[in-house]
């Protein structure tokens, strides 16, 4: 299991994720937009040609809420916020990043790493401009949110290095993307999985986001 971690998070995250993933190495990697299964993001929205969908187009009119105090509900909110965007109504992906960072750990210890994590899930500004030409929009249908099986071992071996209420949820779902290519509606669906690391009560009255795993490389 490879989780991107910055040096600033230090020994605590290194020890925790080494135990959780069963490895002792930490990889600092930049995941391009190809992480979404799009090898040429500057071209069309790499959606598979499909007949116009009979489902209504999902248009995000306001940012998803990120205010849950219950851990699983908060993990679902994070997944929705991370994957829900619309190039027709948002000028850059910056708003997605800002919303997620706004609920980062108040200590700031993990904030720099979280910014990097979120960036790995989003198109770059340049790619966003290209995607806007094709009216690309995206959202996620969450199918499961579960605490990884290895998390209990990670907690036990981390001792008092974790704040009370720290936990992890592995989220699985279907990423939906729609757009317009040469005047025709196109759509694609892609299964995704990732792990959300959060801290909730009793440390804080509401949940806060610590880190994200690499896309499609979750804790099991």
pLDDT digits (tens, 9 = 90+) for 58-104: 444 466 789 889 999 999 999 999 999 999 998 899 999 999 999 99
For residue 55, is it within any domain? no
For residue 80, is it within any domain? yes
pLDDT digits (tens, 9 = 90+) for 177-208: 999 999 999 999 999 999 999 999 999 999 99
DSSP string covering 122-177, please? S--HHHHHHHHTTT-EEEEEEEEEE--TTHHHHHHHHTTSSPTTEEEEEEEEEEEE
For residue 220, is it within any domain? no
Give me the CATH number covering residue 181. Answer: 3.10.450
Residue 202 · residue 213 · CB < 8 Å: no
* Cα gap 151→17, rounded to integer Å: 9
**pLDDT band at 16, cuts 50/70/90?**
low
Closest to 130 (Cα-Cα) out of 92, 95, 97: 92
Highest mean pLDDT among 41-45, 108-112, 118-122: 118-122
For residue 53, is it within any domain? no
DSSP element (H, E) containing 5:
none
Asked whether the predicted pLDDT for residue 45 surpasses 90, the reply is no
Domain containing residue 171: 7-32+64-212
Closest to 71 (Cα-Cα) out of 138, 164, 150, 153: 164
For residue 83, is it within any domain? yes
What is the bridge-based pairing of β-strands 166-181 and 137-146?
antiparallel
For residue 157, is it within any domain? yes
Which residues on neighbouring strands pair with residue 179, listed in sequence order?
Answer: 186
Q: Give the contacts of 192 (CB within 8 A, at least 6 positions apart).
A: 83, 140, 172, 173, 174, 175, 215, 216
For residue 218, is it within any domain? no
Q: Backbone phi, then psi, for 185, in 5-degree steps?
A: -70, 135
For residue 42, is it within any domain? no
| b/e 111-122 (16+ beta carbons within 10 angstroms → b) | bebbebbbebbb
Number of domains in the chain: 1
Give the Å distances, CA to CA, from 112 to 29, 35, 92, 140, 218. Answer: 14, 20, 20, 25, 20
- Matching residue, tokens 């187009």: 57
Q: What is the pTM of this model?
A: 0.73
* Cα gap 34→41, rounded to integer Å: 7
């Amino acid at each position: 299991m490879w989780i991107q971690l910055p040096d600033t998070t230090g020994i605590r995250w290194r020890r925790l994720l080494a135990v959780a993933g069963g490895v002792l190495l930490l990889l600092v990697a930049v995941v391009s937009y190809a992480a979404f299964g799009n090898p040429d993001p500057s071209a069309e929205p790499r959606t598979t040609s499909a007949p116009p969908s009979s489902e209504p187009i999902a248009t995000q009119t306001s940012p998803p809420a990120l205010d849950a105090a219950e851990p699983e509900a908060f993990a679902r909110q994070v997944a929705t916020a991370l994957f829900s965007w619309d190039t027709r109504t948002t000028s850059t992906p910056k708003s997605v990043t800002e919303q997620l960072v706004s609920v980062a750990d108040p200590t700031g210890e993990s904030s720099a790493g979280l910014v990097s994590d979120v960036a790995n899930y989003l198109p770059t500004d340049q790619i966003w401009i290209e995607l806007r030409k094709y009216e690309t929009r995206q959202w996620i249908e969450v199918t499961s949110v579960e605490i990884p099986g290895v998390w209990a071992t990670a907690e036990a071996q981390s001792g008092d290095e974790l704040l009370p209420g720290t936990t992890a949820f592995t989220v699985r779902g279907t990423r939906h993307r729609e757009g317009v290519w040469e005047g025709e509606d196109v759509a694609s669906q892609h299964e995704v999985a990732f792990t959300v690391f959060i801290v909730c009560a009793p440390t804080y009255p509401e949940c806060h986001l610590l880190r994200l795993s690499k896309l499609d490389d979750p804790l099991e």
